[in-house]
A and B are shown apart, each in its own frame.
Chain A
Amino acid sequence: MLWETVKLAMLSIRRNVLRSVLTLLGIVIGVAAVIAMVTIGSGTSQKVQDDLSKLGSNMLIVRPGQNTFGPPTVSEARSFKERDVAILRSQLSGVRAMAPSASKTTTVVFGALNDQATVTGSDTGFFTVQDWTFAAGRPFGEAEVRAGAAVCVIGETIRSTLFGGIDPIGQRLRTGGFDCQVVGLLEAKGQSAFGTDQDNTVIMPLRTFQRRLAGSTRIANIYISVANREDVPRVQADTERILRELRRVAPGAEDNFTVRDMTQIASTLAATSTVMTALLGAVAAVSLLVGGIGIMNIMLVSVTERTREIGIRLAIGALGRQVLTQFLVEAIVLALFGGVIGIAVGLGLAGMAAFGMAIPFAADPRIVALAFVFSGLIGVIFGFFPARRAARLDPIEALRHE
């Protein structure tokens, strides 16, 4: 009996294609918006999370001066010396690795090709603090750091733009005014959370950098990787205290350096993007609600428009609840159908956005299932009122309706 009523409803939907399409359009748009927003949003969050993990875990960055956001460059403010690093190393506890560094953007040349790259001088701890892994070759060793050997490690971007198909290990790369031997190739990291290409990099021993490229012994940044997350605030405070002494900052005066917790910054970014996702999702949910009201509106119009048909059905012996079921099923089927189309459209949009914005395509099956169930629910809720109205029509009045 119910199945027959369901078939009647399906028949009625098929016989009135235009009306049906208009009815489900609202749901399609609503569901598509929710799916697209949530999928793009969680893709963005995931991207930020990925960047966060590539940044190196529990990392503090110490820089001279107060204006310290952005990619590392040699600052105007008084930079650090080797001695500062040595004292931090001996006095801080709970540190996994520490790496002083200085960077410079310069032209790197191999054969006939050249490129602008960030050249960084650091020590062996650099690869640990920044969580670099090697695709080929090796990091430079302690002896090479001490000696200021002309060796370097290159990023994936340098390999692809300058070396092409050639194995870079053992090749000589011209950086600034001198040649260094490539000993290692880093695994690609992609863009940083700040949008710079982290793989367009050449890393060499700090002393080599200072002597051959920078011509000074300045250290622009000190990276500190803390062993345990909960120690980060303490290490940060200790670093600030030690540096204030070393740099003779008068009590009460502002620091002439900054110690930044990168994990915290990245977490803040991730949290921001989660909030944005929730916000956009909420806006999209409102449009889904509007879609539901659209269904109710068209179903109500449909009941009025089909009054005569309902009258016929009632006159030839349809029970009120059979008419109710038919209209309810029509609404649910339309809503579910709209939901399925909306899911497809939403995922399509999110896929295009993921491709265009270079973020991961984070389709969540739970959200898809939820959208499906929710559209069915919209069918029930917004279909019930018009259906009940249809079922309660007086057959005589309905038959007289023109």
Chain B
Amino acid sequence: MSEAGPLVSLAGVERLYGEGGGAVRALAGVDLDIASGSFVAIMGPSGSGKSTAMNIIGCLDRPTRGTYRFAGVDVTGLDRDQRARLRRSYLGFVFQGYNLLARTTALENVELPLIYRGLPRGQRRQRAAEAIRLVGLEGREHHTPAQLSGGQQQRVAIARAIVTEPLLLLADEPTGNLDTARSHEIMDLLTGLNRERGLTVVMVTHEPDMAAYASRSIRFVDGHVAGDETRRAT
């Protein structure tokens, strides 16, 4: 892991769906560097390729062409299990629909990535409880998603994403299902994690209000990076 280089580095990344003449180009040659510790908002109309880019950055998907270096390491050619190992060690995910396991307590949801990492139970419990405290849900460890509000569920999802102490947090429309007040709370939480813990955050959103929290805003159009502005230094 080189400290000096960017955390995420896409070079000439293309992603094609389908084959031959009917193939759809979701990404048409993207060059993008994201520095460690930054808070990046990715915007753009639907079909612009922002979700595809997000999936590739999150190692859920692989580029058809081009290279992806994560923390200086070429991860383009990694297989399924290697990418899963990468995700559980260095990446955290927050989704629009929270994606918590139903009928499973907040604590157990947050513990899940640590189970897959093979951590012993005591350590898991401790780290999960700490992550829940960090997102301000102390006392609700044993509530199931059905007993929590949308904002609280998203906090649990954020706790689950950061419990592994990842290098990069990927948030896909994290406020898409929340009202304005709740949305701002979640954005404050993400900003706090970014500022205080130096967590790199990449967030897809279509709401300019939410994108305003980010230090850098990237705009996708037709599979290209069409705009890239840094608002203030971090």
Interface residues of A (CB under 8 A from B): 1, 4, 8, 11, 15-16, 308-309, 311-322, 395-396, 399
Contacts and interface: CB of A to CB of B under 8 A. Distances in A.
A1 B118 contact: yes
A307 to B, nearest CB: 12
B171 to A, nearest CB: 13
Nearest to B52: A396
A317 B81 CA distance: 9
7 contacts: A1-B118, A15-B102, A311-B99, A313-B112, A316-B160, A319-B116, A396-B55
- Find the residue from B84, B100, B108, B113 having the highest chain A CB count within 10 A: B84
Given A4-B118, A308-B99, A318 B104 contact: no
A317 B89 contact: yes
B101 interface: yes
Contacts of B160: 316
A399 B99 contact: yes
A312 B99 contact: yes
B60 A15 contact: no
Contacts of A1: 118
A85 B115 CA distance: 89
A383 to B, nearest CB: 20
A15 B104 contact: yes
B80 interface: yes
Contacts of B103: 15-16
Contact of B115 (A8, A311, A320, A395): A8
A240 B61 CA distance: 91
Contacts of B84: 314, 317-320
Nearest to B61: A396
B85 A319 contact: yes
Q: Is the interface of B mostly helix, strand, loop or mixed?
A: helix
Interface of B: 55, 58, 60-61, 80-81, 84-85, 87-89, 93, 95, 99-104, 108, 112-113, 115-118, 160-161, 164
Residue of A15, A316, A321 with most chain B CB atoms under a 10 A cut-off = A316
A11 B103 CA distance: 10
Nearest to A391: B80
A317 B116 contact: yes
Given A4-B115, A15-B104, A309-B101, A317 B85 contact: yes
Contacts of A318: 84, 88, 116
Contacts of B117: 317
A315 B116 contact: no
Given A396-B55, A396-B61, A319 B81 contact: yes
A308 B99 CA distance: 8
Contacts of A321: 81
Contacts of B61: 396
B95 A320 contact: no
A330 to B, nearest CB: 14
B3 to A, nearest CB: 24
Contacts of A11: 104, 108
A316 B87 contact: yes
A8 B115 CA distance: 9
Nearest to B80: A320
Contacts of B164: 317
Contacts of B100: 312
A147 B96 CA distance: 108
A309 B93 CA distance: 14
A178 B121 CA distance: 90
A177 B80 CA distance: 99
Looking at A309, A311, A317, A322, the one whose CB has the most chain B CB atoms below 10 A away is: A317
Contacts of A4: 115, 118
B95 A399 contact: yes
Given A312-B101, A395-B60, A399-B99, A317 B118 contact: no
Contacts of B101: 309, 312
B92 to A, nearest CB: 8
A316 B80 contact: no
Given A4-B118, A8-B115, A317-B113, 13 more contacts: A4-B115, A15-B102, A16-B103, A312-B99, A312-B101, A316-B87, A316-B160, A318-B84, A318-B116, A320-B84, A396-B55, A396-B61, A399-B99
A158 to B, nearest CB: 69
B116 A322 contact: yes
A12 to B, nearest CB: 9
A324 to B, nearest CB: 11
B57 to A, nearest CB: 13
Contacts of B104: 11, 15
A312 B102 CA distance: 11
B53 to A, nearest CB: 12
A216 B117 CA distance: 97
Nearest to A4: B115
A399 B104 CA distance: 18
A321 B87 CA distance: 16
Nearest to B89: A317
A164 to B, nearest CB: 66
A311 B93 CA distance: 12
